[in-house]
Amino acid sequence: MAPPLTFDLSGKVVVVTGAGRGIGRSIAEACAYHGADLALGSRTVAESEAVAADIRNRYGRRTAAWPLDVGKLTSINTFVDQVQAAFGRIDVLVNNAGINIQHPALDYTEAEYDQIVDVNLKGVFFLSTAAARSMIEHGSGGSIITITSQAGVVGAPLRSVYSAAKAGAAHLARTLAAEWAPHNITVNAVAPTFTRTPLLEAALGNPAFARNLERVPLGRIAEPEEIAAAVVFLASPAARMITGQELCVDGGFTAV
């Protein structure tokens, strides 16, 4: 009988974007706990460098951080080149970096629209294709996981552009999963509910937005480590038969 599959990431090189705080930091820490080496990217490079130092001290993993603006292709290409030079390959990519600007749909400017879509969708596409090239070149497959949102599964008033971009990222995962399956690359998405991050704390200042919390059947917001656990699962051997899926870690929000 075959041995049970595990969540072990030992020897894997995991890339996490938006790793300086919140969900991204928790994902990096969880992957390190399960044995991975980490390549971190963030616009706030001082924060991601602090996360890298903490991971090295606590877990002894190879960890490095570089500046990354996922809304700009030149920044993506430079970042991926740096990761390749330092680690030699990419086994897992976690597209975590995101941005949201809340407005009624009638009030968005073109610049705000472009910023939200560039970070939440365009950056996911070009980082995913860059990581896939590395995985295909090395011939050992890999895993790509995008952090989407429950707002991309159901209607999300005051977040129309963000909602559309996240829905697009989820469908992109399904499409890339089908396209890259012959290369043994799995592509999935994780859709969190309201999660304890600085972004959420700011959003809760809007009473209309805060009322959305009443729709979570489990009656609370998520903790970042609960999102990270889903990412570790999808990146691990235990999920090797799962691809093209969006896992909602949402306390039942999208079930009702």
162 labelled catalytic? yes
User: Which of the residues 33, 59, 113, 162 is marked catalytic?
Assistant: 162
Which helix (H) or strand (E) segment holds residue 210: the answer is helix 207-210
Let me know the angle formed at the C-alpha of 246 by 28 and 27, rounded to the nearest 5 degrees: 5
67, 20 contact by CB (below 8 A):
no
Of 195, 147, 150, 155, nearest in space to 172 by CA? 147
Among residues 254, 127, 131, which one has the least CA distance to residue 193?
254
CA terminus-to-terminus distance, the chain = 40
> For residues 246 and 235, what is the distance between their CA atoms, to the nearest angstrom?
14
User: CA-CA distance, 84 to 201, in Å (whole number)?
Assistant: 36
* DSSP-H helix ranges across 118-205: 123-138, 160-180, 198-203
Show which residues are catalytic: 162
